Structure 1
Amino acid sequence: MLVTTYGHAVDDGPAGPSTPQPEHGATAGSASQKLEILMAPPPVVQLVRSALVLNHLGEVLAVRTASAPDGTYRLPGGEPGADNADVYGLMRTVQYETGLPLAAHRVLVRDRTKGDPPTEHYVHFCGRLPGGQKLTLEGVDHFLWLAADAVAEHCGRAAGRIESALEALANGTLVERCDGVFVDERRAG
């Protein structure tokens, strides 16, 4: 018996379903196969959000987890799979990791990465802290306050994104990056 499924005929004979074969008259690249490709769900994009937090000296708050590759630091929040896919999740994650109840303000950087899964990483400005602010670490094992010229030394692959965020903050712009490469810079609106 032939059963049509998603534009393919399947022989459901005595041994069970066989390999899908193109329908009678259909060829590779036919309209039905093209429609099937168009109807396929889009790839799931993993959203990651990080918080750019500065102290009264303009230094960047960077955190490190025990599982960090080569002991590199990152911005608070910026872990794939963490509860930070939206700004409220980012604020909860930052408070959990640092004890700081901060609000997420404007987006400074949008960095798209092609991969499996593709990722969109957003860096939000979350404020400047007054001097002497205490941090309570949970889920991270160390933090540093980094001057802009020390970011590359301590933050590995995240350094370019952090440097772009500092530039966007200073210039009042949004920086677009793709696979770590600068794509566009626009005035923040």
Structure 2
Amino acid sequence: KTPNDLERETALLEQLVRLAEERNFSELPPPGSGIPGSPPCWTPPATIEEHRPLIFLDLDPVNMNTDNDTAGLKATLNEENKNDMFRLPLLHHASDEVRAVAQWDPSIHEAHEMNRVTPNNTIIYMIVKIIVLISQPVRMELVLRKRIATTIGKTEGWWSGKAMKYLLGYKPYK
């Protein structure tokens, strides 16, 4: 072999090893590495996602449809019925946190299972669908869906125990 062939063979082997390492690193990222899909380096509570979700966007200009640039619009989760989605009005959202409070209106559907008095600490499951406007790597809308478990909790209402104690001088028993 000539020196050029040996040099080329060495370069190709180094590239093959580097590509194999990258593939292994992306398929099984180390815990806590921050790479999407990597396992956590901590034990998350039962309600927290263990892995970071990974979304692949096809940003090829040929495949980008200018009429409908909403990614994930036609995707669904298992057992999701697109006709059973209801728009909930937002009561409060915090711009510095990923949090929002929405109001459930029982008059928007006809499911009697969802319009009954729910016992305290009952767990219900729902699919949350949000539309996010991203600006990087390209400006577009992205539909995200997540199946969540929520706990129904009773609020004390407008006359909380603290207000009653302040007004009456003592906290009434229920």
Asked which structure has the greater RCO (Cα within 8 Å, sep 6+), the reply is: 1
Query: Could you tell me the TM-score, scaled by structure 1's length?
Result: 0.22
Query: Could you tell me the TM-score, scaled by structure 2's length?
Result: 0.23
